[in-house]
Chains A and B, each alone.
Chain A
């Protein structure tokens, strides 16, 4: 009897590994091996005509820490994430609540909220570039109607990052809205009826019942939003290229610039490892939360 169970278990294990192997191979090739290789290459100096590449251990990292641009970029990205993640989630939730309610032109509203998602970020950036143009752009023209002065949104360090943040929120909120919409529609009607009978206000109903039930969706969206706050830099290529004076430079853009514009792969690799490290920590924290707080029905 025991022998048969063992055999069965071993068969299961083999099958399990076999089924897993294609994906495992792909992940190794494109995620785990490159991570290791990136770490390895971050330990060497950049090879040039005069001085071939040599092992310098953690010197690339100390170079980065001494580089003021690096810290500016880190600060930018932190601010960027700290604003885009909560704001787009809140707006997405509001949009979902509205799109789910009995307002006039519901179809139009829902479509309008979702359309930015359908556009590639590059296309969206082109549109917003002209929105932001001082004088000619739509924002300034509308502002002009109200007597407001022309603002050079993308051309000033104070406003450039915020201009980029706005474009990101505009792009992302609609996408997150769909997840909330789907989740909202699984909330049974009788919960609302029960709360009405109890005399609870709509706000209380929302706060006490809807939000907790949406928690898994919220956490899921938060994971997505966090990933995007690192990954989504397409608009920088069109809007600001990281300027003015690095005011809107985000870390992935700096990595790209380091590798492909400055021909400096080792420093780019060092930055990549640092980013991965932070992402792993954030991942661990967020996934831990999801595990703990998820309220499964």
Chain B
């Protein structure tokens, strides 16, 4: 390809990157300026921390952070538990109707908790889990996607290792714990990254299930904060948005190489 072509292409890539990041840049800009300055793009206007102060006082953000953190942790632990067991069953055990059941599981990929929102929310209430972090997390724990990944990952473990451990006298669960789980670490990591970022940003289901600041995650808190009846103040909302995305953003910036590596090694092809 010609020099010019290459350069144009590179310019295109960079232009796209700039476009892609512009809303975030705008939020950053607006968060540190007053509303009027923000929309008029007066580059020399003074920077201010007032918006952050207003936003901070306007809602219990620390509580929201804690809730979100607890939520993604609970969900992840639950997912590890359920998907490991089920994935192992599908990968290495033989039992009647195995394929049929696996198809049922795959169908869950499409039976989303959000789509079944009315019934699921009745179910959660029935179980007494309304307005609790468990109530928010439980529908996601037996994740079909996770089961699929674990099955994939466990399938690729050579049978010799399994046999060797069995000969050594390990119980089935012992074999699972000692042989399969460590070998599947990259998959766990990749899955964890997907799960955390999905559930950190989950909105509709927590909106329905949480009813108080004690359980409300960041997304719901942000939406309540940002959707008042009488109009939005872009600078304050930008400040609130910046506050709530900062942890994930910083984490990604610091760990992006590991992030991509994890996907790579998990063999999600």
> Does any Cβ of B come within 8 Å of A37's Cβ?
yes
> Does any Cβ of A come within 8 Å of B161's Cβ?
no
Contact residue among A26, A35, A275, A283 (Cβ-Cβ distance under 8 Å from B138): A26
Query: Which single residue of chain B is at the shortest CB-CB distance from A259?
Result: B118
The total of interchain contacts (Cβ-Cβ below 8 angstroms) comes to 268
* Complex Cα gap A165–B25 (Å): 21
Known contacts A118-B248, A202-B1; decide if A95 and B16 are in contact (CB<8 Å).
yes
- Among A48-56, A78-86, A150-158, A179-187, the stretch that binds chain B is A179-187
Query: Which single residue of chain B is at the shortest CB-CB distance from A138?
Result: B26
User: In angstroms, how far is the closest chain A Cβ from the Cβ of B91?
Assistant: 10
> Does any Cβ of A come within 8 Å of B200's Cβ?
yes
User: In angstroms, how far is the closest chain A Cβ from the Cβ of B58?
Assistant: 14
- Among B69-77, B162-170, B236-244, the stretch that binds chain A is B236-244
Check A129–B232 contact: CB distance below 8 A.
Answer: yes
* Complex Cα gap A185–B14 (Å): 21
Check B141–A113 contact: CB distance below 8 A.
Answer: no
Interface of chain B: mostly helix, strand, loop or mixed: helix
Residues of B within 8 A of A27 (CB): 104-105, 108, 142, 144
Contact residue among B86, B88, B118, B227 (Cβ-Cβ distance under 8 Å from A269): B118
Interface of chain A: mostly helix, strand, loop or mixed: helix
Check A31–B17 contact: CB distance below 8 A.
Answer: no
User: In angstroms, how far is the closest chain B Cβ from the Cβ of A73?
Assistant: 14
Check A124–B39 contact: CB distance below 8 A.
Answer: no
B residues in contact (CB < 8 Å) with A: 1, 9-10, 13-14, 16-18, 20-24, 26-27, 30, 39, 41, 81-83, 85-86, 88-90, 93-96, 98, 101, 104-120, 122-123, 138-139, 141-142, 144, 147, 172, 197, 200-201, 203-204, 208, 218-219, 222-223, 226-227, 232, 234, 237-238, 241, 244-245, 248-249, 252-253, 256, 259-260, 263-264, 266-269
